[in-house]
Amino acid sequence: MSIPVILDCDPGHDDALAIMLAVADPAIDLRAVTTVAGNVTLENTTTNALRVLDMVGRPDIPVAAGADRPRARALSTAASMHGEGGLAGPLPVEPSRGPSSLTAVELIGQVLTEASEPVTLVVTGPQTNAAAAIEALPHLRHRIARIVFMGGAVNLGNWTPAAEFNIWVDPEAADVVLRSGLDLTMIGLEVTHQAWLTDKHADAVRGKGDCGLFVAELLDHFVGFHQERFGWEGAPIHDAVTIAHLIDPTLVTTVFANVEIELGSELCVGRTVVDRWRVTERTPNCHVGLGIDRDRFVTLLMDRLVTLT
Ligand code: BDR
Ligand code: CA
């Protein structure tokens, strides 16, 4: 029995690897990909999602474009990390098709309606589309099995000292998701900063067909960026951890805790305030990732990626 999944993303190197893992692993039934502005503009994240699905031979998976900006703020991108187009490294290639005529929220509604069982929504970009879907589709909320998102941190941020990028870009959207009452799992930086790949992994897949070369060239850029910018040996493959967590729930350890989003403070906006030690009376609302078995994650990811040709 595979898990039906909608992947809402902003590719982005690690989003691309999340899509590839979702396609490669038989435990995941990727029903749709929806795109959001985040790492780069919506036009680019949508083109990149289409391109990655072409690369893995799945142009049958529908792709719909969603929000081109956060709910209440101007769009701020991470082009400095992912390149202006969002997938710096491999040479850009035009996708074989355009996106669906449906919006992201419409496609999410269609997939939820047509599925014979509840569907898992995985969010690896700003939560603008997820919040819009929660608000627009209240009659379908029982069709959402759970939401697993990459974003936030118990401790430090990565885009500001206090906030992680996905939450910081659209904190008002994250606030809607965290208050939704849905079954939520947060894969934050405590987890994903342990989930890194290095040059060695790029070289291990470089000779393995078109997909292997594509992954290697993505890693060349992404690992190189993290080496130069932070002095790290490798690059965290943040977004792929959401899919790995679905495939093998024993990889990531979690604690059920209250998580609220800071919206007001200039210094701390976008911070996921996690009541890790239950020092408040606030009701737990989210399974919060605390750590990952890095070796097993890397083995899983690499084993699956090399099956794509
Ligand atoms: C998140 O920010 C983006 O740059 C990555 O794609 C990931 O989703 C990590 O903070
Ligand atoms: Ca992302």
39 Cβ below 6 A of ligand 1: yes
> CB count, 10 Å around CB of 143?
18
Whole-number pLDDT of residue 28: 98
Residues above pLDDT 70, as percent of the chain: 100
Is 14:237 a contact under the CB 8 Å cutoff? yes
- Taking only the tens place, the pLDDT of each residue in 16-55 is 999 999 999 999 999 999 999 999 999 999 999 999 999 9
Q: Are strands 196-197 and 235-236 parallel, antiparallel or unpaired?
A: antiparallel
Which residue numbers are catalytic? 238
Whole-number pLDDT of residue 254: 98
Question: How many residues are given for the chain?
Answer: 309
- Taking only the tens place, the pLDDT of each residue in 177-206 is 999 999 999 999 999 999 999 999 999 999
Which amino acid, 295? D
CA distance linking residue 59 with residue 297, whole number of Å:
27
175 Cβ below 6 A of ligand 1: no
Q: Which atom of ligand 1 is nearest to the CA of 165?
A: 10
- Taking only the tens place, the pLDDT of each residue in 218-229 is 999 999 999 999
> CB count, 10 Å around CB of 196?
20
142: CA distance to ligand 2 center in Å? 26
Q: Which atom of ligand 1 is nearest to the CA of 15?
A: 6
CA distance linking residue 250 with residue 253, whole number of Å:
7
126 Cβ below 6 A of ligand 1: no
172: CA distance to ligand 1 center in Å? 17
How is residue 212 written in tokens?
């292997």
**Which residues fall within 8 angstroms of residue 167, CB to CB, at 6 or more apart?**
126, 127, 151, 152, 174, 261, 270, 271, 272
- Residue whose Cα lies nearest atom 4 of ligand 1: it is 39
Please tell me what DSSP assigns to residue 57. T
242 Cβ below 6 A of ligand 1: no
For residues 264-282, average pLDDT: 97
For residues 269-285, average pLDDT: 98
Q: Which CATH number fits domain 3-305: 3.40.50.10190, 3.30.70.1450, 3.40.50.2300, 3.90.245.10?
A: 3.90.245.10
Q: Which atom of ligand 1 is nearest to the CA of 125?
A: 8
270 Cβ below 6 A of ligand 1: no
- Taking only the tens place, the pLDDT of each residue in 129-157 is 999 999 999 999 999 999 999 999 999 99
Whole-number pLDDT of residue 170: 98
119: CA distance to ligand 1 center in Å? 23
Whole-number pLDDT of residue 309: 86
Checking if the pLDDT of 268 tops 90, the result is yes
The reply to whether the predicted model has a pTM over 0.85 is yes
Question: DSSP alpha helices (H): ranges in 251-308?
Answer: 294-305
Whole-number pLDDT of residue 3: 98
Is 237:124 a contact under the CB 8 Å cutoff? no
Domain boundaries, the chain: 3-305
- Taking only the tens place, the pLDDT of each residue in 97-132 is 999 999 999 999 999 999 999 999 999 999 999 999
For residues 288-307, average pLDDT: 98
280: CA distance to ligand 2 center in Å? 31
100 Cβ below 6 A of ligand 1: no
Q: Which atom of ligand 1 is nearest to the CA of 82?
A: 4
Q: Report the chain's mean pLDDT, rounded to a whole number.
A: 98
Is 105:144 a contact under the CB 8 Å cutoff? no
> CB count, 10 Å around CB of 42?
21
